[in-house]
Copies of this chain bind each other. A is one copy, B any other.
């Protein structure tokens, strides 16, 4: 059995947005009791992340580390058509996840207490992002 929905999110530039509630709604709508929820971004310059949902400093520190691993405007980049945050966004996406999966049990997401599902915008400007949620059981 499979249930599928495409969700739209507006981002406000680089940063994370908690989408756990929206994914949980798709799980509830699916009526699937046991299986997995699959979340997928249809883009190559934003990604998905499961990380701590309590202290927002965790996500701020992740930005700090990823800015080192994939600096904006690196002179080594050849791909810079859309500005200094274009290639760095692709690198950040490659280092994290385009797709995420979470187990579903008892009809709900089996996340740990401190786990949240985040949409991570890597471009500095605001974007409209499509996320496909598929629940399988």
Contacts and interface: CB of A to CB of B under 8 A. Distances in A.
Interface in A22-52: 34-36, 38, 40-44, 49-52
Interface residues of A, number: 58
A62 B93 CA distance: 11
A94 B137 contact: no
Main secondary structure of the interface of A (DSSP, over half): mixed
Contacts of A101: 38, 40, 99, 101
Q: Assembly of this chain: how many copies?
A: 3
Interface in A85-112: 87, 90-91, 93-105, 110-112
A20 to B, nearest CB: 13
A93 B51 contact: yes
A17 to B, nearest CB: 16
12 contacts: A2-B34, A4-B34, A36-B136, A38-B101, A42-B111, A44-B51, A44-B112, A57-B78, A62-B94, A94-B95, A105-B132, A110-B132
